[in-house]
């Protein structure tokens, strides 16, 4: 490895005749390698930290929030007013390495919300788990702010022409979660049965929740 | 400091800083309306440069109308909301 001799130079392991830069995997490997060589972290510590972190981050968390909002109008009011405080009632929090503000936006018969991060891939990780690859793709990030209805059609979400679409570009310190509409015909379901109807995509806005088939 | 309030007409500045910024290029120069105010947050542009005491600026959610962003080709009326720091915005003079 030549970089041990070139602390301030380029990484000369890579050919420079390609227009693109190093892949993300290469960059991460280089960074991790440097941290390990300097004794700042071990591979073991990194693995345990990432696994411990992700063990608590899953779409079931967001689904629990949505289901509670469906059955408890007062809770829904609190989620819409101060989502950080409301999700703490269910034992969830948004603090990863720094405070981020969570905002819930509600789908109704007249308004459909969809979230994106056009600049990178900001996402409510603790409520939805790791983001899907398409959420991080240039195609989704660039197109959903230009033609949201067309993008939603490709996801199989067909909105009535009169429905107003609101796109939320998570450009700074807020993370968004969509409160999808409760499907018709679910009046008799329990809160935990309702939570099973709440998909990850419905909380991004690229899906809708459906009643269980009979 | 907070210069704007909910309902204020604003315009995203046209800027092309050499370093990191969280003002998306597609919104620069576009007029919008302050939809909500979130309090003071350290400016990402300075944090990315490693400034220890990054200035804390008011952060707003600004609503942009699709036709203001994309012109008549927007196709339909929809809204784009973005979270923008005070310094990214200037007051919009009523037209």
Tally of CB atoms within 10 A around A16: 6
pLDDT of residue A155: 98
**Among all residues of A, which ones are annotated catalytic?**
117, 120-122
> What burial class does residue B38 get, using C-beta atoms within 10 Å of its C-beta: 0-12 exposed, 13-18 middle, 19+ buried?
middle
pLDDT digits (tens, 9 = 90+) for B15-57: 999 999 999 999 999 999 999 999 999 999 999 999 989 999 9
Q: Where are the domains of chain B?
A: 9-91
pLDDT of residue B95: 56
Q: How far apart are CA A167 and CA B81, in angstroms?
A: 6
Query: Which residues on adjacent β-strands are paired with residue A179?
Result: A106
* Minimal CA separation from A58 to chain B, in Å: 25
Q: How far apart are CA A80 and CA A177, in angstroms?
A: 10
Q: How far apart are CA B7 and CA A93, in angstroms?
A: 30
Q: Is A148 within 8 Å of B75 when comparing Cβ atoms?
A: no
More confidently predicted of B59 and A56: B59
Q: Judge: domain B9-91, CATH 2.30.30.50.
A: yes
* Minimal CA separation from B63 to chain A, in Å: 9
Q: Is the ipTM here above 0.90?
A: yes
pLDDT of residue A54: 81
pLDDT of residue A20: 53
Interface-testing mutation among B25, B56, B78, with chain A (most A C-beta atoms within 10 A): B78
pLDDT of residue A50: 83
B-chain CB neighbours of A173 within 8 Å are 38, 41, 59, 83
* Minimal CA separation from A37 to chain B, in Å: 23
pLDDT of residue B76: 86
Q: Is A167 within 8 Å of B81 when comparing Cβ atoms?
A: yes
B-chain CB neighbours of A82 within 8 Å are none
What is chain A's pLDDT, residue by residue, as a tens digit (214 residues)? 333 333 343 443 333 334 456 788 899 899 999 999 999 999 889 888 888 878 888 999 999 999 999 999 999 999 999 999 999 999 998 876 678 899 999 999 999 999 999 999 999 999 999 999 999 999 999 999 999 999 999 999 999 999 999 999 999 999 999 999 999 999 999 999 999 999 999 999 999 999 998 6
pLDDT of residue A21: 66
Q: How far apart are CA A183 and CA A204, in angstroms?
A: 17
How many interface pairs between A and B have CB atoms less than 8 angstroms apart? 55
Region of residue A28 (phi > 0: left; psi between -120 and 50: alpha; otherwise: beta): alpha
Q: How far apart are CA B6 and CA B33, in angstroms?
A: 8
pLDDT of residue A180: 98
Name the token pair of B73.
């080709």
Domains by residue range for chain A, with CATH:
22-55 (no CATH), 58-204 (3.90.330.10)
Tally of CB atoms within 10 A around A9: 9
Torsion of CA B16, B19, B20, B26, to 10 degrees: 20
A-chain CB neighbours of B84 within 8 Å are 171-172
Q: Which chain A residue is nearest to residue B82, measuring alpha carbons?
A: A169
pLDDT of residue A13: 39
Name the token pair of A116.
């994106």
A-chain CB neighbours of B26 within 8 Å are 118, 145
Region of residue A4 (phi > 0: left; psi between -120 and 50: alpha; otherwise: beta): alpha
Q: Which chain A residue is nearest to residue B80, measuring alpha carbons?
A: A167
Contact at 8 Å (CB) between A101 and A173? yes
Name the token pair of B21.
């910024």
Chain B residues 18-57 with CB within 8 Å of chain A: 22-24, 26, 38, 41, 44
**pLDDT over threshold 90, residue B63:** yes
* Minimal CA separation from A192 to chain B, in Å: 32
Go through chain B and tell me how many residues it has: 95
Q: Is A169 within 8 Å of B81 when comparing Cβ atoms?
A: yes
């Amino acid at each position: 490895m030549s970089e041990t001799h070139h602390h301030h130079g380029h990484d000369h392991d890579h050919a420079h005749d390609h227009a693109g830069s190093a892949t993300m995997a290469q960059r991460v490997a280089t960074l991790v390698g440097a941290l390990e060589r300097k004794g700042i972290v071990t591979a073991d510590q990194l693995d345990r930290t990432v696994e411990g972190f992700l063990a608590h981050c899953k779409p079931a968390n967001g689904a629990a929030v949505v289901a509670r909002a469906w059955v408890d109008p007062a809770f829904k009011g609190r989620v819409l007013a101060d989502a950080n405080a409301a999700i703490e009632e269910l034992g969830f929090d948004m603090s990863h390495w720094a405070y981020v503000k969570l905002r819930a936006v509600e789908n109704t018969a007249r308004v459909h919300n969809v979230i994106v991060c056009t600049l990178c891939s900001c996402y409510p990780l603790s409520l939805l788990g790791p983001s899907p690859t398409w959420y991080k793709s240039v195609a989704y990030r660039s197109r959903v702010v230009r033609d949201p209805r067309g993008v939603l059609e490709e996801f199989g979400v067909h909105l009535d022409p009169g429905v107003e679409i609101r796109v939320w570009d998570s450009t700074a310190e807020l993370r968004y979660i969509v409160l999808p509409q409760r499907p018709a015909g679910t009046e008799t379901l329990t809160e935990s049965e309702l939570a099973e109807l709440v998909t990850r995509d419905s909380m991004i806005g690229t899906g809708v929740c459906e009643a269980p088939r009979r | 400091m907070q210069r704007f309030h909910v309902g204020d007409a604003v315009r995203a500045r046209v800027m092309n800083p050499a370093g990191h910024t969280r003002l998306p290029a597609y919104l620069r120069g576009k007029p919008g309306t302050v939809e909500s105010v979130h309090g003071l947050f350290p400016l990402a542009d300075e944090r990315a440069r490693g400034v220890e005491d990054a200035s804390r600026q008011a952060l707003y959610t600004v609503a942009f109308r699709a036709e203001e962003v994309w012109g008549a080709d927007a196709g339909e009326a929809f809204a784009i909301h973005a979270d923008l720091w005070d310094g990214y915005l200037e007051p919009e003079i009523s037209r």
